Amino acid sequence: MPNLLITNPQLIEFLSSAESVKVFERHRAELRSRIVTDEGMTLQGAFAVATFILIEKDINPASENVLAVAASLLDYSLFMEVSSH
């Protein structure tokens, strides 16, 4: 994960827990379909999925929280993609 300054205790707890992996896995297919388009890859999809996850987990979807979750999601998704080959 990129070096981000995360100060929201709820977000820290979520990203540090095994629950985040389960949530990311549930949203991995959606993330993949949203970031890969005919024009290439876009981060807008990652931000949309991250925002949805934050709302689902009742965590403030402030921009720094969205960025942290989007970066974690992309990191997780890339790891899973590489490890599956």
b/e 50-81 (16+ beta carbons within 10 angstroms → b): bbebbeebebeeeeebbbbbbbbbbebbeeee
Three-class DSSP category at 20:
helix
> For the segment 6-48, what is each residue's pLDDT rounded down to a tens digit?
889 999 999 999 999 999 999 888 888 877 766 666 678 889 9
Distance (Å, rounded) from C-alpha 78 to C-alpha 38?
Answer: 19
> For the segment 41-77, what is each residue's pLDDT rounded down to a tens digit?
667 888 999 999 999 999 999 999 999 999 898 888 8
Distance (Å, rounded) from C-alpha 24 to C-alpha 20?
Answer: 6
The CA-to-CA distance between both ends of the chain, in Å, stands at 21
